[in-house]
C-alpha cells in the first residue's frame, strides 16, 4: 500500500484519517527491498582508498543520482545538510544522527518530541511555501502523490520514501541517501541484538512459544481498529516473540496495515495477549472506556487472565527511535502484571 505508512499518525488526528482511509485500497508498486537493491550511482567512480584527501572531500560535497521508491532518478547531495522529512517515521532519521529542519509535527507525546522541538512544521498536506522558506537541500517525501511531488521537486531535490517498509529496509535506504551507511548498519546490529535479548528475557519470565497477540485502538465515532502491520505490531510480531492470530495474519497477507472491525469480531480477533493503543482524541478515549466495560470484552480469555497491556499510540510507533524505546517499555509493561 503506497499510503499505508501513514497509519499511526493518521489514526491519531481527524484531519489525517481521511487520507489514510483513501490509501487502503492501493498496493505498493515498488517495494522497499527493490528500492534498496537499486544502487544509486555517484559522480566519482574511483574507490575511496585511491582518492586523494581533496578528491574525497569533493566527493562528500558533490551530487549523485538516487533512484527513489516510485522510480524517480534524482540528483541529490552526497551528504545532505538541510533535510525536510515529511512522514510519520521521523525517528528513523534521528536514530542516524540527522535532525530534519522541517517535519510533519503531529508528534506531541512521541518519544522524540523534544529532539525535534526546533524543527519547523511543514504541515499536512505539506506546504510548498513553507518548504521553500526553509531552503532545504533535500526533501524526503513519505508519499506517492504525483502532484505534490512535482510541486516539491521545484523547491529542492525530492525523494519519495516508503514509510511502511520494514524497519531494516528503511534504515538502509536512509543510510544510503543521507551518507550514513555505517551508522545504519551499526543501528540495525545493536537493535537486533537488544531485541533478541528482550525476547529471551520475556521467555524466561513466562512467555510461551507460539503465543498470539492482538493490537487494538479506537478512533472517534466509536470505530474499533485492529492493527496488523504498522506501529506496535511491527515490534510485537517477531520470530522470537508473539504471533498474529489467523484473522490478523489474513489482514497482513492482504497488505493492509489495519482493519476496522465490529466489537462482535473481538473473540475471533483477540490473541493470547492484547495490546491497547490509547488514542489521542477525548471522544475516542471515552469510547475505549466503554469498550473495556462491555461484556464481550470482559469475556475475552486474555482479559480474564490479566494479559492486557496499554501504550500511548504516539509513543508505540514504528520509527527507529520509538522501537528502541519499546525494547525497554514492552517488557516493563508485560512484566508489571
Mean pLDDT, the chain cut into blocks of 10 residues (337 residues total):
43 39 36 40 36 50 95 98 96 98 88 96 97 98 96 98 93 98 98 97 96 97 93 93 97 92 96 97 96 97 97 95 97 89
pLDDT of residue 106: 76
Question: Residues 85, 99: contact at Cβ < 8 Å?
Answer: no
Residues 6+ apart with CB under 8 A from 140: 83, 84, 85, 86, 87, 93, 158, 159, 161, 174, 177
Q: Which helix H or strand E contains 323, and what residues bound it?
A: helix 320-335
pLDDT of residue 257: 86
pLDDT of residue 3: 42
**Other C-beta atoms within 10 Å of 114: how many?**
8
pLDDT of residue 59: 53
Bridge partners of residue 215, in order along the sequence: 227, 275
pLDDT of residue 56: 47
Question: Residues 277, 215: contact at Cβ < 8 Å?
Answer: yes
**Other C-beta atoms within 10 Å of 28: how many?**
19
Bridge partners of residue 242, in order along the sequence: 237
C-alpha 252: how far from chain center: 16
Question: Residues 115, 175: contact at Cβ < 8 Å?
Answer: no
Over its C-alpha atoms, the chain yields an Rg (Å, rounded) of 21
**DSSP one-letter string for 81-107:** SSEEEESS-HHHHHHTT---SEE----
Q: Which helix H or strand E contains 123, and what residues bound it?
A: none
Bridge partners of residue 308, in order along the sequence: 274
Residues 6+ apart with CB under 8 A from 197: none
Residue 240, exposed/middle/buried by CB under 10 A (0-12, 13-18, 19+)? middle
pLDDT of residue 176: 98
Residues 6+ apart with CB under 8 A from 157: 74, 75, 76, 77, 137, 138, 139
Amino acid at each position: 500500500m503506497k499510503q499505508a505508512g501513514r497509519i499511526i499518525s493518521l489514526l491519531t488526528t481527524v484531519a489525517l484519517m481521511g487520507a489514510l482511509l483513501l490509501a487502503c485500497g492501493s498496493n505498493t508498486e515498488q517495494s522497499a527491498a527493490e528500492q534498496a537493491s537499486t544502487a544509486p550511482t555517484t559522480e566519482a567512480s574511483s574507490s575511496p582508498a585511491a582518492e586523494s584527501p581533496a578528491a574525497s572531500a569533493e566527493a562528500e560535497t558533490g551530487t549523485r543520482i538516487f533512484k527513489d521508491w516510485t522510480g524517480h532518478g534524482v540528483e541529490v547531495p552526497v551528504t545532505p545538510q538541510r533535510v525536510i522529512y515529511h512522514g510519520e517515521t521521523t525517528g528513523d532519521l534521528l536514530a542516524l544522527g540527522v535532525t530534519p529542519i522541517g517535519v510533519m509535527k503531529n508528534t506531541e507525546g512521541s518519544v522524540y518530541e523534544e529532539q525535534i522541538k526546533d524543527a519547523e512544521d511543514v504541515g499536512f498536506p505539506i506546504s510548498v511555501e513553507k518548504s521553500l522558506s526553509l531552503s532545504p537541500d533535500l526533501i524526503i517525501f513519505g508519499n506517492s502523490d504525483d502532484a505534490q511531488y512535482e510541486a516539491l521537486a521545484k523547491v529542492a531535490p525530492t525523494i519519495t520514501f516508503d514509510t511502511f517498509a520494514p524497519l531494516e529496509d528503511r534504515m538502509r535506504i536512509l543510510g544510503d541517501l543521507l551518507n550514513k551507511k555505517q551508522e545504519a548498519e551499526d543501528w540495525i546490529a545493536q537493535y537486533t541484538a537488544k531485541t533478541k535479548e528482550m525476547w529471551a528475557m520475556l521467555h524466561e519470565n513466562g512467555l510461551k512459544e507460539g503465543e498470539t497477540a492482538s493490537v487494538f485502538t479506537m478512533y472517534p465515532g466509536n470505530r474499533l481498529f485492529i492493527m496488523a502491520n504498522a506501529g506496535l505490531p511491527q515490534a510485537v510480531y517477531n520470530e522470537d516473540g508473539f504471533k498474529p492470530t489467523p484473522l490478523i495474519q489474513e489482514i497482513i497477507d492482504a497488505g493492509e496495515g489495519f482493519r476496522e472491525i465490529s466489537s462482535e469480531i473481538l473473540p475471533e480477533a483477540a490473541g493470547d495477549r492484547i495490546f491497547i493503543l490509547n488514542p489521542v482524541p477525548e471522544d475516542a478515549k471515552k469510547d475505549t472506556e466503554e469498550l473495556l466495560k462491555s461484556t464481550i470484552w470482559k469475556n475475552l480469555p486474555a482479559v480474564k487472565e490479566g494479559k492486557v497491556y496499554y501504550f500511548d499510540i504516539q509513543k508505540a510507533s514504528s520509527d527507529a527511535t520509538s522501537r528502541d524505546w519499546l525494547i525497554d517499555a514492552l517488557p516493563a509493561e508485560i512484566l508489571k502484571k
